[in-house]
Each structure stands twice: as C-alpha cells, then as structure tokens.
Structure 1
Amino acid sequence: MPNIKSAIKRVKINENKYAQNSAFKSAMRTAVKKFEVAAEQNEENAQDLFKNAIKQLDKAVTKGLIHRNAANRQKARLAKKLNNLGA
C-alpha cells in the first residue's frame, strides 16, 4: 500500500476504472453472445441484437477497451452470420 497521498488516490482511481472497464467489457461480450445464440436459432430479433452488439463494440473502441481493428473484425464476423440467416 502506498504512503504518498497522490499514490493512494491513483490506486483508488485505478480500482474504480478497472471495475467500470470490466463491467463494460462484460456487457459487450454478453451482447455479442446474445446475437450469436439468436443467429444460430434463427430468431426474429436477431437484427435488433445485431445492432446492439455493433453499438457495444463501437463504444468499446471509443473508450479504448479494444483495438479498432479487433472490433472491425468482430463486426465483420457478426455481419456474415446475419447475412447467412436469410440464405
């Protein structure tokens, strides 16, 4: 545990940010998985779940939680699954 006041403050801030980031990442992963499950079962709400997953991925990029290229790769894979639903 740090003794310097500013270091103590940084530890608290880092803990709060870590909690926020992990919660947001978890929500993002959940949104992606919900769409994947809906796509496998050919559900009607897959389109809405797709939009939500894309939104979550874009927000994660904005917040710096995942790399832009990683998000684009995931979005491309999800779009491919969505397009295969109609076929």
Structure 2
Amino acid sequence: MANIKSSKKHIKTSKKRKIQNTSKRSTIKTFIKKVRNSINNNNKIEALHFFKIFQSLIDKHITKGLMHKNKGSRYKSSLNTQIMQLK
C-alpha cells in the first residue's frame, strides 16, 4: 500500500476508471455479438440497426481513448462487409 496521500488517491481513481472501462468494453462486445447474431440469422434490417448503434459507440470510445482508431475501423469495416454480403 502506498504511503503518500496523492498515490493513495491515484489508486482509488484508477480502480474507479478500471470498473468504468470494463463496463464500456463489455457494451462493445455485446453489440458485436448482437450484430453477428443477426448476420448469422440473415436478418439484414436488424443487423443494420445494431450496426448503427455499434458505430456510434466505437467512435465515442475512440475519441475518449478507450480504443485505438485502427482497431475501431477494423471492427466497423469487417462487420460492414459481412452485412453488405447479406441479401
């Protein structure tokens, strides 16, 4: 355990940030699953609906620094190509 007061505060804030970041990452994972499930069910309308929400979440995470921009664009492009291949 830290002895300096500022380092104790830093430990508290890092724990709070870790909890927030894990919850935000889990929301991204759930939307990836929703989009992929709708792609597997050949439901293009539902996939486009979830993909629109997913895109905005990814963009918000990129601007806040939770995800690298290349990783976010890779997710978006791969899911978009899968959706566009549906009939």
Within-5 A mapping of 1:26-65: 26-43=26-43, 44-65=45-66
Aligned to 2:14: 14
Runs of at least 5 residues in structure 2 that lack an aligned partner in the other structure: none
How far apart, CA to CA, are the structure 2 residues paired with 1:54 and 1:36?
Answer: 14
What is the alpha-carbon root mean square deviation over aligned residues? 1.0
Measured after TM superposition, the shift of residue 47 of structure 1 is: 1.2
Cα distance, 1:8 vs. partner? 0.5
Gaps (5+ residues) in structure 1? none
Equivalent-residue separation in structure 2 for 1:55 and 1:31 (angstroms): 11
Matches of 2:36 and 2:54, distance apart in 1: 10
Q: Percent identity?
A: 34
Comparing 67-76 and 52-61, the one that deviates more: 52-61
Indicate the residue corresponding to 2:67 in structure 1.
Answer: 66
Conserved? CA contact 1:31–1:56, under 8 Å: no
Q: Alpha-carbon deviation of 1:18? A: 0.7
**Corresponding residue number in structure 2 for 1:82:** 83
Please tell me whether the aligned partners of residues 28 and 60 of structure 1 are also in contact (alpha carbons under 8 angstroms).
no
Q: Which 4+ stretches in 1 moved above 6 angstroms?
A: none
Give the whole-Å Cα distance in 2 for the aligned partners of 1:33 and 1:54.
Answer: 14
Query: C-alpha offsets along residues 6-27 of structure 1, whole Å, 9 cap, x if unaligned?
Result: 1100000000001101110110
SS at match of 1:72: helix
Shift of 1:81: 0.9
